[in-house]
Amino acid sequence: MTAPDSDRFVVSRTAGRHWVQAAVLLAIGAGIVWLGLSASQQSPRVAGCVFGGGFLLLGLILVVRSLPTPVVNELVFDTSGISRIVGGVVWAARWDELAAVAVPAEPGRGTSFRVVIEPADPRFAERHRGLTPVAGGQWLVPGIALSATEADRVREIAGKCAAVVERPVAPVVPEPSPPPARVDRFVPTPATVPELDHVSIHVNGWDLRKVWFFDFAMAMLGIGAYVAVEFGPSGFLHTVCRILVGAVIVLVSVVHGFEFNSRKRELRADLRLSNVGFRWKTYTRKFELDWREVAELRLVNGRLEFRPADLDFPLRHGDAEDLALSDGWYRLPRPLSRAAARKFSRSAPTLLPRDVVLTVGWGGAPPTPITRGAT
């Protein structure tokens, strides 16, 4: 960033390097190893080398990650206009191309602001790529959010060169109204849509029927090979059956190890569908959406995608920018397994509202629209 009295302001989100953290970890690791080697007994030496080696390994990892030059990620405001830099100049707009600039806050997040520009020329989009269209013929600068201090500085600089307008972003889901004052008679109040039913889908879950069939086949093969080893004549067949028994044990262990890992909390992904909306949850991320914000939902070859109902969706959900596709659709990050796709195809038509168009396709077959659903 620049000084407050300057006419140039840089909002930088460039990832920094980790030289200080790496130096601290390497120093701690070297110290622990040195203390361990200087001990007279064997146990402290081993403990010092193990723990010190762990710190040294973490320090070396940070050193390796800090060696490449970080990709520049900046939003620059100056007297000439606005430019977005990601590695190189992605786009740049002059102030005379803009009619107004707005810096609205994301609904429900008063400390996060976005930059919205209103072009003066209707052919603005033909000259400038990389912007996200929003309602009212305006364009959102994607990939970067501002703090409250940065938003004030952007408004100050934009006010010197172009008009600054207010652009409230109303959430689709209304805020709950305050409780009414106590009265002597009953007064009905509008209620939110209750959640009547839901279904949970293990996104990367295995088909248990196939696992059971695999276990049965491996058990039959293993039992047959074991009987041949115990009661059959010695020779080439005896050796092959012994190898086969070991291979069956190893194969079953590997398959069940992968299946168990898919259910671990760190690797698991869950999709929860209800008559109100859907929730995507992993160990590090949770994304929830109301059906009133969704116009279409489609499952094509295991990829679940949705199209928002209005153009202001990017302003309300900045955390979904990495899910956006080039055609206005959004794609959830992980594909659904075969078992999860079947469960979704059975459950979604009964849970989705009728005004949400559902399309399902798999294995190269043409997608089939399903318009029936919950009321």
341 and 280 inside one domain: yes
156 and 91 inside one domain: yes
CA proximity to 288, closest of 309, 303, 273 = 273
Residues 6+ apart with CB under 8 A from 39: 45, 48
Q: For residue 57, what are the domain limits?
A: 19-66
Place of tokens 């996200």: 132
Q: Write down which residue in 164, 198, 233 finishes a domain.
A: 164
358 and 274 inside one domain: yes
Q: Which two tokens stand for residue 365?
A: 């077959």
Query: What are the φ/ψ torsions at residue 297 (nearest 5 degrees)?
Result: -135, 130
What whole-number distance in Å separates Cα of residue 164 and Cα of residue 157?
10
Amino acid at 339: A
Q: Write down which residue in 233, 261, 289 finishes a domain.
A: 261
Whether 169 maps to a domain, the answer reads: no
Q: Write down which residue in 149, 164, 179 finishes a domain.
A: 164
- What is the reported pLDDT for 182? 54
What whole-number distance in Å separates Cα of residue 312 and Cα of residue 318?
11
Whether 178 maps to a domain, the answer reads: no
Whether 171 maps to a domain, the answer reads: no
Whether 300 maps to a domain, the answer reads: yes
92 and 144 inside one domain: yes
CA proximity to 75, closest of 167, 165, 150, 166 = 150
94 and 141 inside one domain: yes
Give pTM, 2 decimals: 0.73
CATH of the domain at 335: 2.30.29
- What is the reported pLDDT for 250? 92
Residue 352 is given by DSSP the state S
From first to last of its 375 residues, what are the pLDDT tens digits of the chain? 444 456 788 888 888 888 899 999 999 999 998 988 888 888 888 888 888 889 999 999 999 988 888 888 889 888 888 888 888 777 888 888 888 888 888 877 778 888 888 888 878 877 887 788 888 888 888 888 888 888 888 888 888 887 777 776 756 654 444 555 554 454 444 445 666 778 999 998 888 888 999 999 999 999 998 888 888 888 888 888 888 989 999 999 999 999 888 888 888 999 999 988 999 999 989 999 999 999 999 998 889 999 998 888 888 888 888 898 888 899 998 999 989 998 998 888 888 888 888 888 765 555 556 655 444
Whether 9 maps to a domain, the answer reads: no
Number of domains in the chain: 4
Could you tell me if 157 and 18 are in contact, meaning their C-beta atoms sit under 8 angstroms apart? no
32 and 109 inside one domain: no
Query: What are the φ/ψ torsions at residue 29 (nearest 5 degrees)?
Result: -60, -45
Place of tokens 């074991």: 226
Whether 295 maps to a domain, the answer reads: yes
239 and 290 inside one domain: no
60 and 78 inside one domain: no
Whether 36 maps to a domain, the answer reads: yes
CA proximity to 298, closest of 213, 375, 367, 206 = 367
Whether 242 maps to a domain, the answer reads: yes
- What is the reported pLDDT for 91? 83
274 and 365 inside one domain: yes
218 and 310 inside one domain: no
96 and 25 inside one domain: no
Query: What are the φ/ψ torsions at residue 158 (nearest 5 degrees)?
Result: -65, -30
Strand locations in 283-347 (E): 286-290, 294-300, 303-308, 330-331
90 and 38 inside one domain: no
Could you tell me if 272 and 347 are in contact, meaning their C-beta atoms sit under 8 angstroms apart? no
